Each structure stands twice: as structure tokens, then as C-alpha cells.
Amino acid sequence: MTAGSGRRSHGPLVAVLTALVVAVGCAAGGVGESGPEAPREPAPRQSSRPAAPPSPEAQTTRADGTTSVAEFKSDIEDAVTIAERYWAARFRTTGEQFRPIRRIVPYQREGEVSCAGQPLPRNNAVYCSRGDFIAYDVNWSVSAFRQVGDAFVFYLLGHEYAHGIQVRLGLRADFTIQQELQADCMAGAYLGDSVRDGTLKLDAGDLDEFREGLLAVGDDPDQPWFAEGSHGTAEQRTDWFFRGYERSLDACNLG
């Protein structure tokens, strides 16, 4: 996946996501409040320390040589910039003022960043409405980037950014799974629309490999759909992502 600036593509995604990606989560008060509130503790700051060396299990490298932390950081920046422009344009069509998510916070250790007093775990990414920020475990994310490819970064940021948009639009749901599947749909719309307007470019085979990847991030078959924290089965997540990708936001039940 390549941003419209024409930077070199990392090539197609690998066909199977590892356990690194299964851990994608939206816990820690992501969309539970009515809107962004001032944090009760100092807002988390981006760490000025360099990223820790990858763990041994992160040494697996994709065949196309995607290993550069600099490329990962550049893709994060591109994903955020494109998401901000995408949602700003959608808000303008309805005459509403768009407020970008306040900050994107990488962290390295469990408990280094908190949301509403709840320490964030490792191997996770989350939107926190209390402080209006997205936080992600940078070591886990870089490892997934190396094994999966750059499209993972755009999906990850797109899904979490969608939770911030849900808060801004005042969208509520009775069950967590409804919020999560809607966020998958909104992430699909952001990516599909960005491909159609030329902002992003897909490499041959990426869509098939997106499908393979989404099959790996579904809930365990024994997870009750109504349980707090449920994200949906692999089939549900794939279906909702591609509803958005193919039909844009009209498919996402935004009201």
C-alpha cells in the first residue's frame, strides 16, 4: 500500500496474520463516554526515548525486506494525515466542524500510558475518549508491520480513528460488538474511498490478503457475542470491513 506521495510500496501483504495481530483491541474506555473529556491525570505524552530493540519473536522479516522503523514511522504519519483529511472532508459535507484526534501516543511498557486511570497493556492499540488520543504498543506494532506489511498500519489507525469519530458523532450501541463492527466498516470506507480517489494505491493481491488477514483477527468461537469486549467473529469482521470498503460510509449505519 502506497500513499499518494508515491513512496515505495512494501509489496503485497502476507497471506496469514500471526498472533501479533490477533491482539488488536479497543479496550480502556475507548468509546464508553459521551465525548472527549479532560483527563483526570496528565495527558500521556509521546515518549522521547528511542524504541526498544525488537524482541526475538519480532525478528521474522517479510520476504520483501520490510524492516525499517523509519518506514514504519512514515506510514504511521501518512495514515494519520490521510485519516484526518478523509474525516475532515466528510464533516464538511454535513456542515459540521471536525476536530482531529488530539494525539497519537506510542508506548513500550505495560502501564506506561493510562486511559481514565486504567493502565494500557502491551500488544494492544486503543482509542481513549477520556483524553482523546490513540495509543499503541510500538514494539508490537513494528513487529506486526514487519510480518504483515504496511497495510496493517493503515487498517490499525483507521479502526482506532473510527472510534474517535463515533464519539464525535455521538454514536452509541447496546453492545461492544456493534461498536467494533461499525469501526471495521468505517475503517474499510476510509481505505476504500482513499484508494478510489487515488490517495492510496493497492498492490496486486492486497485485497485477497486483507481477507486472509481479517480471518485471523476474529473473536474465539466460544466468545459470546454479547460479552463486553467482543469484536465479532472472523466472518463478521471481514463482512463489515468490506461493506465499508466497497460501499463507503453508507454501509456503516451512521444514522
Q: Percent of the chain scored above 70 by pLDDT?
A: 73
Q: Which residues of 165-174 are buried (b: 16+ CB within 10 A; e: fewer)?
A: bbbbeebeee
Distance of CA 227 to the CA centre of its chain: 21
pLDDT value of position 17 = 37
Identify the three-state secondary structure at position 178: helix
Got the DSSP string for 186-218?
Answer: HHHHHHHHHHHTTSEEPPTTHHHHHHHHHTTSS
Question: Residue 146: inside a domain, yes or no?
Answer: yes
Q: How confident is the model at residue 44 (pLDDT cuts 50, 70, 90)?
A: very low
Question: Residue 61: inside a domain, yes or no?
Answer: no
Mean pLDDT of 239-246: 96
Distances (CA, A) of 71 to 10, 26, 87, 152: 9, 25, 24, 13
Question: Residue 60: inside a domain, yes or no?
Answer: no
Question: Residue 109: inside a domain, yes or no?
Answer: yes
Question: Residue 90: inside a domain, yes or no?
Answer: yes
| Whether residue 114 has pLDDT greater than 90 | yes
Residue-range definition of the domain harbouring residue 15: 2-41+67-249
What digits encode the pLDDT tens for the residues 154-206? Answer: 888 999 999 999 999 999 999 999 999 999 999 999 999 999 999 999 876 67
Q: Is the dihedral of CA 196, 198, 199, 200 positive or negative?
A: positive
Question: Residue 51: inside a domain, yes or no?
Answer: no
pTM given for the model: 0.78
Question: Residue 62: inside a domain, yes or no?
Answer: no
The number of distinct structural domains making up the chain is: 1
Question: Residue 47: inside a domain, yes or no?
Answer: no
- The single-letter code of the amino acid at 211 is R
pLDDT value of position 218 = 74
Across the chain, mean pLDDT equals: 78
Q: How confident is the model at residue 28 (pLDDT cuts 50, 70, 90)?
A: very low
